[in-house]
Amino acid sequence: MPNRWKPSPALRATFAIHAGAAVGCLLAPAIWPWALGALVINHAVITVAGLLPRSTLLGPNLTRLPPASVALREVAITIDDGPDPDVTPQVLDILDAAGARATFFCIGWRARENPALCRDIVARGHQVENHGDSHSKAFAFFGPRRMRADIAAGQATLAGITGQPPRYFRATAGLRNPFLDPVLHRLGIRLAAWTRRPYDTRCGDPDTVLARLTRDLAPGDILLLHDGHAARTADGQPVILAVLPRLLAVLREKELNPVTLNQAIS
């Protein structure tokens, strides 16, 4: 059984502000404008934290690999929004050719449509993790019950297909709300974000995407790419297919070792 959930300092402060505002208004009703102002500021801070994918204000969030992994000059390539039957097999071939390992954050409904491809990801030495069941753009507005149901459905699907229960979850676009941390705690999985994001679902220029990934690249970085919903290059190619071989070449030049999150954390 997991340990009891402990809210982050920011969430503890939120609870205290709400309790203080309620008690203060009961004891001195005239202070209600100040109490309301404190609540508005608090909610603004919490909302902004949920809009920042790398924020840890709402709870633990993996944005870099641990020191032991840094010492081994490891980086993690993470690939979201698949499996895509047209793109993912080509991504796997590129990784195989370089002897590189990656972590695929897969969408539950896509995995159910492509179970053999999910199993192939694992069979070829990579890792499948939970990117939610629906990949809803409204995920950050879900209440705790709907959020838990969506993540649990993705967890059950991916564990059933691959035989390996996911250890990590990544929210749609990294956006979330204060309900996520206790939900993940109860499900026994961790939130994972990234160090470098190239916006490759919007930008189809390989040079720009590569530059965003490799500028000041260092051991311990977690890199984000997309096999599903990938933007297209000028000639119609998914941008990940144009960028990934070049990215792997840069990693070799810098003597950086691409590993899965499990390899890095364990």
Torsion of CA 181, 187, 188, 193, to 10 degrees: -50
Give the residue from 10, 32, 11, 12 showing the smallest Cα distance to 21.
32
> Is the CA virtual torsion 246, 130, 201, 228 positive or negative?
positive
Active site residue 126: no
Selecting among 80, 81, 221, 227, the annotated active-site residue is 80
Task: Give the other-Cβ count within 10 Å of 131's Cβ.
Answer: 29
Report how far residue 1's alpha carbon sits from residue 264's, in angstroms, rounded to the nearest whole number: 24
What Å distances lie between residue 81 and 37, 71, 78, 226, CA to CA? 40, 30, 10, 6
Q: Are 118 and 162 in contact (CB under 8 A)?
A: yes
The number of angstroms, rounded, from the C-alpha of 169 to the middle of its chain's C-alpha atoms is 6
151 exposed, middle or buried (CB, 10 Å; 0-12, 13-18, 19+)? buried
Q: In the block, which residue shows the tokens 């300092």?
A: 9
Selecting among 185, 226, 227, 235, the annotated active-site residue is 226
Active site residue 80: yes
Annotated catalytic residues are 80, 226
